[in-house]
Structure 1
């Protein structure tokens, strides 16, 4: 059975925002490491143009988008997408979204975003956030993908497309991630080249993680359940409604405090070794291997 990807290996690829592309580790190396480390000298001047040491807590020269600032190393599990059943918001998501809508922009960016980062960097959360999870088919994003799949090949009959037309009629753009449509031809292009293509490719080739795309996120609840997180919801919905084959990658961005407290180290076992073993059990449960 494949070991969960815990930590950094020579096959790890990270996105460097300075150069705007994905580069392999060790080319990325120390400047992508977590902030909870001691000094890590960065010698990757050919990639980042920087050469520096960082104190714990200091901002890094680069931040790999695949790196979660959590008290255990970067963890990537490969699971059967059809075994995932529930979705959960990040523990601080509700007040974060409220602040984005109601507080002045400078206050949200300069204060709330930093507070959310500081609260989330530990990666271990108490509270009842895991008990507030929802079934995936209840998500609006899931229903849009499901409806689009149902009406294909005529995507113009979908609820998603109708919402796009409604936005354009009101003088607002239709936005999907980094894509924006301000006219009907642009809206058609987004559907044909991206949304419909996602479903058709999923049906034909199964799930494939696109090079450079962000990794889907997930969290582990108090009972060890793997709960889908924010990133990759449309991709997971497309995989499920099309019955796609292939394994679905999930970056573990947090765990419940009670789950972590219930893990037991074996004699002479390091903390990381214990986590490798426990995450392997979660992966086995959700991959069927």
Structure 2
């Protein structure tokens, strides 16, 4: 087991290299992260102190750089760049975020849910990062710095948690539970939910999706009896499986601010559940919308990002702590967590912040997350946000990611009929697919 006494107790062997350490990390060996820390942390500490005054800021930047490198090492391509350059780019992104946090005081004004709209912070841009050449020059010029005990302890804790995650039970989504948040009392419900998820997936793959593919082929070929399929809304999963990225539209996240209010748009709960099975949506669902900047998720994400230097000062921390004080801590078997201690609340908030730092560094990745970002096309041919990927969309909006891809999962029948111009089957589908790239976010009030 790695300890703060052993992590930096000796210099790394001469044959060690950052590239070898990253390769070990990519293989899932935490020994690679230990080696990476020994090789780079004294140098990164010296550079961080060149830009930051407070030891805690230096500690946060170094810790997060190493953890981000571990979780994203699969992105490193040794044929495209040197190991030092890749790691320094991660460091540069995290350093820029910390400096921007220092320059942007957090707003302590309480926000009223669904009323007050968050003022989005200045976006993180490449121009705010120190250049790679400048950082590499400092790496060569500055002597390695001594590593504070607090940073040693945090890095040792991070490595121990990574080791512990190997023995964690899987969440219903198939990811290992976070050992800093997991409680054994969640185990039985997690197992049952995972079993239910796997059974549902099996049914969808072996029965539901094949039937939808069959129905879609009948409709595309305008086979006899296929007209009722369009009247019922068309099989969305079959269409998404067949056309995939053709349903994606590139948008500026900060412009996609109108989102559906499901209880008002679909008052009938049964209809609310069924709507996800259909591509064509009828009715006035697009007239009942809310503003993304006043949503619960946006309040949460903007709040913790504004307080990322000290999440314990955020409104979200205090709200979760109040629930804990009332004896009703937040618990989720689907995420494998119980926030029954203050340190778990902080770990929970920091996990979200680490997601955001990764997004700021590497950009938005559609392959991550439970669901792709989703949108629907309203009667005017404009995009409205739906409840798929809401947290990640809020992150992209707060950070200032310039473009993301949203998957169209619903289309107002009026717009479909306008674009298809009376055509049916494959002709109608091709006309709609050709029109989707021109859809723009609906203007928020």
Q: Which category of TM-score, normalised to the shorter sequence, fits these structures?
A: 0.5 to 0.7
Alignment match, 1:70: 236
Provide, for residues 130-180 of structure 1, a one-character-per-residue CA deviation record: whole Å limited to 9, x for no partner. Answer: 111122112121122112221221111111111111111111122476243
CA distance 1:267–1:137, change in 2 (3 Å): closer
Alignment match, 1:273: 430
Alignment match, 1:36: 212
Aligned ranges 1:89-128 → 2 under 5 Å: 89-90=261-262, 94-96=267-269, 112=270, 116-128=272-284
Alignment match, 1:172: 328
Are the counterparts in 1 of residues 260 and 384 from structure 2 also a CA contact under 8 Å? yes
The one of 341, 347, 350 aligned to 1:189: 347
Partner Cα distance (1:81, 1:273) in 2 = 26
1:278 shift after superposition: 1.6
- Higher relative helix content: 2
Aligned ranges 1:1-289 → 2 under 5 Å: 18=198, 33=209, 35-38=211-214, 69-70=235-236, 73-74=239-240, 75-90=247-262, 94-96=267-269, 112=270, 116-175=272-331, 178=335, 179-192=337-350, 194-211=351-368, 213-245=370-402, 247-265=403-421, 270-282=427-439, 285=440
Provide, for residues 232-287 of structure 1, a one-character-per-residue CA deviation record: whole Å limited to 9, x for no partner. Answer: 11211111111124x423222211121112113599971221121021222xx46x
Alignment match, 2:4: none
Are the counterparts in 1 of residues 376 and 409 from structure 2 also a CA contact under 8 Å? yes
CA distance 1:212–1:148, change in 2 (3 Å): closer
SS at match of 1:227: strand
Partner Cα distance (2:200, 2:273) in 1 = 22
Partner Cα distance (1:236, 1:259) in 2 = 25
Are the counterparts in 2 of residues 174 and 187 from structure 1 also a CA contact under 8 Å? no
Report the aligned-residue RMSD. 3.6
SS at match of 1:166: helix
Alignment gaps of 5+ in structure 1:
1-14, 22-27, 41-55, 57-67, 97-111
Are the counterparts in 1 of residues 373 and 406 from structure 2 also a CA contact under 8 Å? yes
* Structure with greater contact order relative to length (CA < 8 Å, sep ≥ 6): 1
TM score, norm. by length of structure 1: 0.63
Are the counterparts in 1 of residues 212 and 235 from structure 2 also a CA contact under 8 Å? yes
Provide the aligned length of Structure 1 versus Structure 2: 219
CA distance 1:182–1:214, change in 2 (3 Å): same
1:188 shift after superposition: 1.7
- Higher relative strand content: 1
Alignment gaps of 5+ in structure 2:
1-173, 175-193, 217-225, 227-233, 241-246
Alignment match, 1:50: none
CA distance 1:18–1:71, change in 2 (3 Å): closer
CA distance 1:229–1:180, change in 2 (3 Å): farther
Provide, for residues 81-122 of structure 1, a one-character-per-residue CA deviation record: whole Å limited to 9, x for no partner. Answer: 2231211134765543xxxxxxxxxxxxxxx4xx65445423
Are the counterparts in 2 of residues 34 and 69 from structure 1 also a CA contact under 8 Å? no
SS at match of 1:238: helix
